[in-house]
Structure 1
Amino acid sequence: MKIWTSEHVFDHPWETVTTAAMQKYPNPMNPSVIGVDVLDRHIDPSGKLHSHRLLSTEWGMPSIVKSLIGACRTKTYVQEHSVVDPVKKTMELKSSNISFTNLVSVDERLIYKPHPQEPENAISGLAWLSFCHHDATARTILTQEAIISVKGVSVSSYLEGLMENTISSNANKGREALEWVISKLNAEIEEFTASARGSMRTSMAAAAFVEK
């Protein structure tokens, strides 16, 4: 068994990062994820948002791992559970493969929360879904952990090491993907804001003309 851990700081507010995380797929950095199905999504009585998704993916196992464990299929499935707490400002995401579980298992856990050095900002309800007016200097810390276990082969420790490297590489791509989604969302907001301002100016000009 191998345990891989990592920590990364995003130069964006928690609301922005968690919104992007929920809209992460599809993206050009993670083309291996070829499908996302929402199996369940609900808000519990305390206001936490729970999501259960099924990811269809061309799993990034090194070719030597596939050959040694005899895996001929390339399409695999991963189940993902996430919980967003807008009051405590935490998003916890857990995922695990449901294909090849008799050969290999990868259990991942990601936690997004405001950087501990950032001041607390009060937020209520589902206001975390909107990030238009949050402090652009706020930061978010992401902690990741993956537990890797290869079963039934004599070189399991070696194969687990290879998969650990793959997970590390995929994690870097995942962070790049979040930055890509954030840029895309920010561009959409700027476009909407500019359009709204243009419409307002037109309405004001029309009103002024009528008054004359």
Structure 2
Amino acid sequence: MKIWSSNHTFSYSWESISQAAWRKYPNPMNPNVVGTDVLSRRVDDSGRLHTHRVITTAQWPFPDFVSRLIGFDKRCYVTEYSIIDPATKTMTLRSKNVTLASWMAVEETLIYQEHPDDANKTLLTQEAQIFGSSALGIPSYFEGLVVDGMSSNASKGREAMDWVCKKIMAEMQDLAAGAQQLGAAMGFSSDTQSSV
């Protein structure tokens, strides 16, 4: 077993980051993610949103010879459970691979929390545990390959979150500008629009 961990501070509020997490895929930084499907969603008595999703990817960090050896077709499925707690401003995502889990299991946890000193920032704590099967012959070698890929993918994931946040901000500005133009075309002044 190998453990990988990382911490990062986003220059966006927790509200922005938690919205961006739902719109993270597709994005140009992670073209291997080809789909996300929500299997269930509910709000508990404490007001926390629980979601179960399946994420489909088109690659796995095994060398081609290993993929051929075990008969793998390159399509992978990951199950993700998340809890968003608006009271504590915490979003926790736990994921694990379904595909090839008997050969190599990866369990990842991401926790997004409002920065304690700056409400305009969000802290990300990310950890993964990688379990290689002894059937692979040298599990630590393959676990090491996955750990190496985790660092690269984590960096791409942070870039993707930044990209989505900027995209959402641009959409909000476009929407506000469109509303102002519509209001002006209908004869409303900006004072009238803000009071509506």
Q: Given the two structures, how large is their TM-score scaled by the length of structure 1?
A: 0.83
Structure 1: runs of 5+ lacking an equivalent: 120-137, 207-212
CA distance in 2, matches of 1:171, 1:71: 27
Letter in 2 for 1:192: L
Rounded to whole Å, the distance in 2 between the matches of 1:202 and 1:173 is 43
Residue of structure 2 aligned with 1:144, choices 99, 103, 126: 126
Seen in structure 2, the aligned counterparts of structure 1 residues 5 and 163 have a Cα distance that, compared at 3 Å, is same
- 1:199 correspondence with 2:182: yes
Give, in angstroms, the shift of residue 168 of structure 1.
1.1
Residue pair 2:60, 2:76 contacting (<8 A) in 1 also = no
CA distance in 2 between partners of 1:85 and 1:201 (Å): 39
Residue deviations 1:172-193, cap 9 Å, x none? 1111111111111111000000
CA contact (8 A) 1:60 1:166 kept: no
SS in structure 1 at match of 2:186 = helix
Q: Could you state the TM-score of these two structures normalised by the residue count of structure 2?
A: 0.90
Contact 1:55 1:78 in 2 (8 A): yes
Is 2:179 the partner of 1:180?
Answer: no
Q: Residue in 2 aligned with 1:117?
A: 117
RMSD of aligned Cα (Å) = 1.8
Q: Structure 1: how far apart are the matches of 2:82 and 2:67?
A: 33
Aligned-residue offset at 1:14: 0.5
Gaps of 5+ in 2: 190-196
What SS does structure 1 have at the residue aligned with 2:136?
coil
Alpha-carbon distance in structure 1 between the residues aligned to 2:65 and 2:3: 18
Residues 110, 142 of structure 1: 8 Å contact kept: yes
* 8 Å Cα contact 1:41/1:50 also seen in 2: yes
Letter in 2 for 1:160: E
Determine the C-alpha separation between the residues in 2 that align with 1:71 and 1:178: 34
Equivalent residue, structure 2, for 1:33: 33
Task: Give the paired residue count.
Answer: 188
Offset, 1:29: 0.9
Q: Is residue 145 of structure 2 the alignment partner of residue 162 of structure 1? A: yes
Give me the whole-angstrom Cα distance separating, in 2, the residues matched to 1:28 and 1:14: 23
| Cα deviations by residue, 1:21-56 (Å, 9 ceiling, x for unpaired) | 111111111111111111001111111011100111
2:33 and 2:78 map into 1 onto residues whose CA distance is 10
Change (3 A) 1:4 1:71: farther
1:96-133 per-residue CA deviation (whole Å, 9 max, x = no partner) reads 011111101000000000112225xxxxxxxxxxxxxx
Q: State the Cα deviation string for residues 73-98 of structure 1 (Å, max 9, x = none).
A: 20011000000000110000000011
Q: 1:205 to 1:193 in 2, by over 3 A?
A: closer
Matches for 1:55-134 after TM superposition, within 5 Å: 55-63=55-63, 66-67=66-67, 70-118=70-118
Task: Single out whichever of 14-23 and 150-159 deviates more from structure 2.
Answer: 150-159
The CA distance in 2 between the partners of 1:203 and 1:165, in whole Å, is 57
